[in-house]
Amino acid sequence: MTPKRPVIIANCSGMSVSRDRMVAMKEQALHSPDVITGDYLAEFNLAFMASSPKGRYEQTFLAAFNNAAQELATRKIKLVVNAGGMDPAGLAKATRDVLRAKNLSLKVAHIEGDNIMPLIPKLLSSGHELRNLDSGQPFRNWGKSPVSANGYLGGWGICEALKQGADIVICGRVADASLVVGACAWWHSWKRTDFDALAGAMVAGHVIECSGHAVGGMFSGFKDIKSMKHLGYPVAEVAHDGSTVITKYPNTNGRVTVHTVTAQIIYEIQGPAYLNSDVTSHFDSIHIEEIAPDRVLLSHVKGSAPPPTTKVAINAIGGYQNELSCFATGLDIEEKCQAMEELVLGELDPENVKKFDYMRFQLVGAAKEDPETQDESTVRIRITVQAKDRKCIDEGNWSRPILGASLTAFPGFYVTIGRPPSPIPFYEYFPALIPYSELKHQVVLEDGRIVAVPPTLETAIPPHHPADHQIAPTKEFMRKFGPTKRAPLGRIVHGRAGDKGSNSNIGLWVETDEAYEWLRNFMSTAQLRTYLAKELDMIPGGCVIDRCEFPRLRAVHFILRGYLGCGSSNRGVMGNHRLDAFGKAVAEFVRARYADIPVSLLESSPLGVSLTKTIKPPVVDLYAKL
């Protein structure tokens, strides 16, 4: 059989639509792709949905769909989304209601089987310990009552739904990239054992899943993007063999380059082998090439059988958190923070303080010497507190006593205007593995028929990649790169960081082979520990750092295990007290650290200057326009 042309898949969402552009689905539909995908879920918002009184699926999906429904129907575009959250059936019904109101006759199917809440007692009674993937802690020792527990489904249910004639497929917790894998498997009629092709599709799904990331969003080379306003969204053209062209539609802002795509490839990964319920994709095999402006080819991706297990995301309410910020200006900033700490502890009931899980005083920013404006000499003092009992950190017991003593605080003390802050719940995240065969993966079609989706029979234990604790090269070796100059690492090195549970990951890459030879030798695990020394000191017990290299991408990648757990039972992004709770800025911090960089690399690097923009003043005086 002659292979079909590449399937054109446009993504319209990288997170909850309320935080993404509501018009993206329609914008993508106007270009008539074959399939539109939308990734709405993260490791945290399933817990929010489970606890929400407004509905257990992504509410704002319906507004985006309402805008796009007519175009989807007219242009015969398939739609595959995981906006179903905790209630795919409920969202499928609501989607049909929108179609009925518009007199459109599209078929809606939904995927079930990811909710494992009823399965937990059975697993525990049968001897499964459900050990935390990050801490190794057995579930029984966790001591929390889950509000949600979801296994990561693969893409074969999506494939089956499309094969059965569905126009719209509503999913809950399928793996992010499986939205694309399922659509590609349907389009190309792939078999379960077409592992190389499946791996290529998985890479494509990983690249386009995060909204505007692949076209310049959160990109360290952003200065060379003409406008960051209203970036376009990525498109994947996936061929029969799994090779993919990443692009965007014309007349949209942003750029698709080797480096914008590399940034997304090494984002939120956990090493060379990317495990998925459909396939294990070997990211160290990826070939990347810019074949035309805004067209990047990904090819030669190697795949192997998926693991026999799948990840489950279990969430529970861990307690409550409150936060208050005040500001210190001018001289003696550290002493003012110490004075604030003394004042707060003096105003709070000591017996009540004993009930806190922790309370932290944090200086954010630094005052400029000889400042020309007050803002330049101002630093934020952030006070955060967590406790299991909401009452002991509420307005009456925590924030009001602090604010009530403000007239006795350090000189220049002030807070932003508004009512005293109130506690909000935080969630603890518990990732584990279970046999994939335990999930009851099934498709519910428009007419109510249910089609079971069996697990892939051929599985393999994932390859073990030992942590690369590279020894730093000798000074004699580094001298071969020539004269050096003290400069920020980011003047020659790109970076992207993200989160996976309690782990932060950092990808660093460069644009030339010469620069990569320097980077891979300079950027050892020991060097990263030096750069992050003060941050690591704040983590009780420290954290393990794994390192690997991606020569074809000219990248070095690190996993900081427990970095986002803050020593609190590896709580993850929802329960840690960091200002940057998701670890998105860790790579930018590393890029700001200084190194002795070869002058030849600095002089040839495009990262040193802005090539396309004139820098404007950072403040817009709105009063001048009134």
CA distance from start to end of the chain? 67
How many domains, the chain? Answer: 3
Same domain, 59 and 168: yes
- Confidence (pLDDT) at 210: 93
Residue 219 near residue 241 (C-beta atoms within 8 A):
no
Residue 460 near residue 307 (C-beta atoms within 8 A):
yes
What does the alpha-carbon distance between residue 423 and residue 217 come to, in Å, rounded to a whole number? 32
- Confidence (pLDDT) at 420: 80
* Cβ neighbours of 155 (radius 10 Å): 31
Q: From 459, 453, 452, select the one nearest 435 (Cα to Cα).
A: 459
Q: From 587, 564, 584, 560, select the one nearest 210 (Cα to Cα).
A: 584
Q: Are strands 78-81 and 168-170 parallel, antiparallel or unpaired?
A: parallel
Kindly list the distances between the CA atom of residue 347 and the CA atoms of 338, 343, 398, in Å, as whole numbers in the listed order: 14, 6, 9
Q: From 523, 414, 530, select the one nearest 473 (Cα to Cα).
A: 523
Residue 258 near residue 245 (C-beta atoms within 8 A):
no
Burial string for 7-36 (b: 16+ CB within 10 Å, else e) reads bbbbbbbbbbbeebbbebbbbbbebebbbb
Same domain, 406 and 300: no
Task: Print the SS3 string covering 318-349.
Answer: EEEEEEEEEEEECCCHHHHHHHHHHHHHHHCC
pLDDT digits (tens, 9 = 90+) for 265-275: 999 998 999 99
- The domain of 540 spans 475-604
Residue 520 near residue 549 (C-beta atoms within 8 A):
yes
What does the alpha-carbon distance between residue 261 and residue 265 come to, in Å, rounded to a whole number? 6
Same domain, 400 and 258: no
Output the CA torsion sign for 352, 357, 363, 365: negative
* Cβ neighbours of 508 (radius 10 Å): 25
Q: How are the residues of the chain apportioned to helix, strand and coil, as percentages rounded to the nearest 5?
A: 30, 25, 40
End-of-domain residue from the set 400, 422, 444:
422
201 belongs to a structural domain: yes
Same domain, 252 and 360: no
Kindly list the distances between the CA atom of residue 295 and the CA atoms of 234, 261, 601, in Å, as whole numbers in the listed order: 11, 10, 27
Task: Print the SS3 string covering 528-584.
Answer: HHHHCHHHHHCCCCCCEEEEEEEHHHCEEEEEEECCCCCCCCCCCCCCCCCCCCCCC
128 belongs to a structural domain: no
- Confidence (pLDDT) at 578: 85
Same domain, 18 and 96: yes
622 belongs to a structural domain: no
131 belongs to a structural domain: no
Q: What are phi and psi of 502, to 5 degrees?
A: -90, 0
470 belongs to a structural domain: no
- Confidence (pLDDT) at 467: 66
Same domain, 538 and 593: yes
Output the CA torsion sign for 569, 434, 211, 255: positive
End-of-domain residue from the set 378, 401, 422:
422
- Confidence (pLDDT) at 566: 57
620 belongs to a structural domain: no
* Cβ neighbours of 606 (radius 10 Å): 14
Burial string for 445-479 (b: 16+ CB within 10 Å, else e) reads bbeeeeeebebbeebeebeeeeebebeeeeeeebe
Same domain, 258 and 336: no
Burial (CB count <10 Å: 0-12, 13-18, 19+), residue 429: buried
Q: What parts of the chain have a pLDDT lower than 70?
A: 1, 16-21, 53, 466-472, 566-572, 609-626
* Cβ neighbours of 256 (radius 10 Å): 24
Same domain, 406 and 532: no
Q: Which two tokens stand for residue 583?
A: 């670890």
Rg, Å, the chain Cα set:
25
Residue carrying the six token digits 């995981």: 82
Same domain, 443 and 524: no
* Cβ neighbours of 544 (radius 10 Å): 14
pLDDT digits (tens, 9 = 90+) for 362-378: 999 999 999 999 999 99
DSSP 596: E
Same domain, 409 and 501: no
- Confidence (pLDDT) at 466: 67
Same domain, 438 and 374: no
Same domain, 81 and 214: yes
Q: What are phi and psi of 561, to 5 degrees?
A: -75, 120
The CA-based dihedral angle spanning residues 390, 393, 394, 400, taken in that order and rounded to the nearest 10 degrees: 180
Burial string for 293-332 (b: 16+ CB within 10 Å, else e) reads ebbbbbbebbbbbbbbbbbbbbbbbbbbbbbbebbbbeee
DSSP track, 460-477: -PPPP-----PPPPPHHH
192 belongs to a structural domain: yes
294 belongs to a structural domain: yes
Q: Domain containing 375 — which CATH number?
A: 3.30.70
Overall pTM surpassing 0.85 (yes/no): yes
- Confidence (pLDDT) at 269: 94
Task: Write the single-letter amino acid at 286.
Answer: I
